[in-house]
Structure 1
Amino acid sequence: MKLLVALVLSVVLASVAADEKRVFWKDVPVGKSVQGRITMGYPAYEGKVPYIVGLMFSKENGGTWCGGSIIGNTWVMTAKHCTDSMEAVTIYYGAVHRLQAQYTHWVSRNDFIEHGSGDISLIRTPHVDFWSLVDRVELPSFNDRYNNYQGWWALVSGWGKTSDEGGVSEYLNCVDVQIGPNSDCASYYGSFSDDLICIPTPENKGTCSGDSGGPLVIHDGNRQVGIVSFGSSAGCLSNGPKGMVRVTSYLDWIRDHTGIAYY
């Protein structure tokens, strides 16, 4: 009996420890040594990632900053944990310096479309014309829905925080990362859904607090395959792997709400 109790207790403790390791980037607690922006990355030049937008969400008692991506003339895609409970958003288009956008749009919660279970949201926007500094990113085709992209190189961009106590970065940063096997994240977090993409960070390269909702775009074809979702509560520089929403798992849902699809 003592052995059985010990085994049960060890399983419970392991489960609790795993839960403590996983946290949405916008919710990283103060004092957890979150340092760096997009960690170990480099500054973006103007026009390098014309599809990224800054999202300043607001509600009565506060707000939050996230990233997002332009996927159509009237659509932006981001993480659900960014839109959750928010009342409105100001969208910053074509910015390199965070608040120095080419232009902005204000959108109310009425135009937020949140997935029921996945960490993905759509935002219906006023019409945006595309040009060199403001442009859409393509999504994967339906033919790619079973591609796990393991081993592929991709670009992540955002204005992530420079520290727990400080604000988000004032300049857009990028980092090149290699998509890893989901087993790397499963062994670290205790479980890891097939609807997610794992980014191992052996050199601490990756996302940080404030990068939530930003795009993961593969080098080959410049298609967005992931959305920045969560990382380790131990901090950006903890070498903990990062979790991204797997866009191919939601292509039907995106098409049904936006009409955007590639065959």
Structure 2
Amino acid sequence: MRLVVTLLILSFIILSFSAKPKIKPRIAGGYPARPYTIVFLVGIVYARTQLSALEFGAGTIISNQWILTVRGVLMYQYIEVHLGSKRAYWGYDILRVYKQNFYFHYDKKRHIALVKVPYQKFDYRLNRLRVPRSANALERFAGGRTVICGWGNAKSDGELPDWMRCTIVKVITNRECAKYYPPLETHEMCTSGEGGKGVCDGDFGGAVALIDGTPTLIGVIHLRPDNCSGGYPSIHIRVSDHLKWIRSVSGVYIP
């Protein structure tokens, strides 16, 4: 497995003319994830162009063949999807997925995206995270507790860590978030940065998972504050506002 992973990463590096991977800060104020708990998150290795450095992002499994993420990690001809990975570059299974399997929202202001992959059988290492029910399409989830996870340090120029990190943050209203940023679009949402917790570069495309009640994917990590650990909110794409689009593109059953 280690040899296979090494060869796949090297293939990306060769195409990038030996560009060094860009290691950036990620989850701020987090803790190491326990094994086999965040089985819905996948690591994505990508490049912006053939000549650019490698970068790391994430996506969320919503069915046996579909991953929800953001447009920003789908810029090159293909990506590498690392399944069942506690490290962004070390999945137990690795898929090379080409751009004909990338699906973008018809409204270019909305950065949500879908990736179609070969059928995956779920087990203790890999499973989906449910999207909200149709009846919750207008739910804002303000005050709800969520878990956000990703790969990396909470400071710039740090070494890539050995393990996925997570943190618990609360959803805040868009009105509260507007105290820190210009007014958000209705299809965006915020989580609190209280206690220096939040997302940072490299977490993009990952899950904002509601943990009050049935675990549910309510947001896709999209934007972060300039100071990742400075107590500012993080901005995400609101999944409940995109249920019709998700269903129309993927055919995923949403009760």
The TM-score, its normalising length taken from structure 1, stands at: 0.82
Structure 1 segment 55-134 matched on structure 2, within 5 A: 55-58=44-47, 59-62=49-52, 63-83=54-74, 85-115=75-105, 116-134=108-126
Question: Deviation of residue 162 (structure 1)?
Answer: 4.3
Q: Distance in 1 between matches of 2:154 and 2:229?
A: 12
Q: Number of aligned pairs?
A: 228
Of 198, 220, 230, which residue of structure 2 is paired with 1:227? 220
8 Å CA contact 2:43, 2:58 repeated in 1: yes
Q: Distance in 1 between matches of 2:190 and 2:154?
A: 23
8 Å CA contact 2:149, 2:167 repeated in 1: yes
Moved more, 155-164 or 52-61: 155-164
Structure number with bigger Rg:
1
After superposition, the C-alpha distances for 1:81-131 in whole angstroms (9 at most, x for unaligned) are 222x32210000001133331111000111111123212110111111100
Distance 1:187 1:245, change over 3 A: same
* Aligned-residue identity in percent: 24
- Residue identity opposite 1:126 in structure 2: P
Q: Distance in 2 between matches of 1:245 and 1:135?
A: 22
Structure 1 segment 137-152 matched on structure 2, within 5 A: 137-152=129-144
Q: Provide the secondary structure at the position in 1 that maps to 2:242.
A: helix
Q: Distance in 2 between matches of 1:144 and 1:167?
A: 41
After superposition, the C-alpha distances for 1:192-229 in whole angstroms (9 at most, x for unaligned) are 11111111212111111110000011112111000001
Residue equivalent to 2:7: none
Q: Provide the secondary structure at the position in 2 that maps to 1:175.
A: strand
Of 178, 181, 192, which residue of structure 1 is paired with 2:170? 178
1:262 aligns with 2:254: yes
Q: Provide the secondary structure at the position in 2 that maps to 1:225.
A: strand
Question: Deviation of residue 185 (structure 1)?
Answer: 1.7
Of 171, 184, 189, which residue of structure 2 is paired with 1:192? 184
- Structure 2's unaligned 5+ residue stretches are 1-21
Taking only aligned residues, the RMSD between alpha carbons, in angstroms, comes to: 1.7
Residue equivalent to 2:32: 43
8 Å CA contact 2:44, 2:88 repeated in 1: no
Distance 1:167 1:88, change over 3 A: farther
8 Å CA contact 2:29, 2:154 repeated in 1: no
8 Å CA contact 1:39, 1:207 repeated in 2: yes
Q: Distance in 2 between matches of 1:142 and 1:169?
A: 38
Q: Distance in 1 between matches of 2:220 and 2:89?
A: 22
Q: Distance in 2 between matches of 1:176 and 1:75?
A: 25
Q: Distance in 1 between matches of 2:28 and 2:136?
A: 29
Of 204, 219, 233, which residue of structure 2 is paired with 1:212? 204
Question: Deviation of residue 57 (structure 1)?
Answer: 1.2
Higher relative contact order, chain-length normalized (CA < 8 Å, sep 6+): 1
Question: Deviation of residue 184 (structure 1)?
Answer: 1.9
